[in-house]
Amino acid sequence: MEFIIPFKGLSLGFHEFTYEVNDLFFEEIDYSEIKRGEIKVDLELEIQETMLIFNFKIEGSVEVDCDRCLEAFNYPINGEQRLFIQFGASYKEETDEMITIPKDDHEINIAPIIYEYIQLLLPLQKMHFDDENGEMTCNKEMLAKLNAISKEEEIDPRWEILKKLKKD
C-alpha cells in the first residue's frame, strides 16, 4: 500500500513524496516485460479545490531484453510527466494527461501510473548501446547463432517470384 496516496486528508497546496521502485514493484505487475529495476520517483502533488496535479520525476534503470541479441541489459531511464486529476461523477480518462475520478474518492493508487510512465520512457526497440568507438556491444556469440538459424530457414519459392517482379 506504499503507492496509495490518501489525498482527502492532505491540506491544499504542495506535498512531496519519494518512491523507490525495485524488483518487488515489477513482480506485482501482471504481464510486466520488466522484471528488474532500480528507479527513484520524486512526486510533487499540488492539491487544489477541484483538481490534483501530479508532477513525476523518474530516474534510474530497468533490465530489459535486447531486441537484437536477446540478452538482458540495464537501460537507463530519465524523464518527467504531469498528470491532472479532476473530480466528477465517475472515472473517465479524458486525455493522456487528464483523468476524472469520482468526487467521493479519497485516495489514489499511483503504482499503475508510475508503471505506465516507466514504459513510456522506454524506446520501441531496446538494444545494447554502442561503445565509445561506435562498436556494437551485443552478445556476438548469440548474434552468430541467430544468423545461422535465419540462414537455415528455407525461403518460400513464392517470395522469390515476387522478388523477381520487384526487380523488373
- For residue 13, pLDDT over 80 is answered with yes
Query: What is the Cα–Cα distance from 102 to 100, expressed in whole angstroms?
Result: 7
Predicted local confidence at residue 64, as pLDDT: 92
Predicted local confidence at residue 168, as pLDDT: 60
- Confidence band for 96, pLDDT divided at 50, 70 and 90: confident
- For residue 167, pLDDT over 80 is answered with no
pLDDT in tens, 109-165: 999 999 999 999 999 988 888 888 888 878 778 877 777 776 655 667 777 777 777
Query: What is the Cα–Cα distance from 100 to 87, expressed in whole angstroms?
Result: 5
Query: What is the Cα–Cα distance from 76 to 122, expressed in whole angstroms?
Result: 9
Cell numbers at 41, concatenated: 520517483
- Tell me what the mean pLDDT of segment 9-35 comes to: 91
pLDDT in tens, 43-71: 999 999 889 999 999 999 999 998 888 88
Predicted local confidence at residue 32, as pLDDT: 84
Indicate the residue type of 144: A
Predicted local confidence at residue 152, as pLDDT: 57
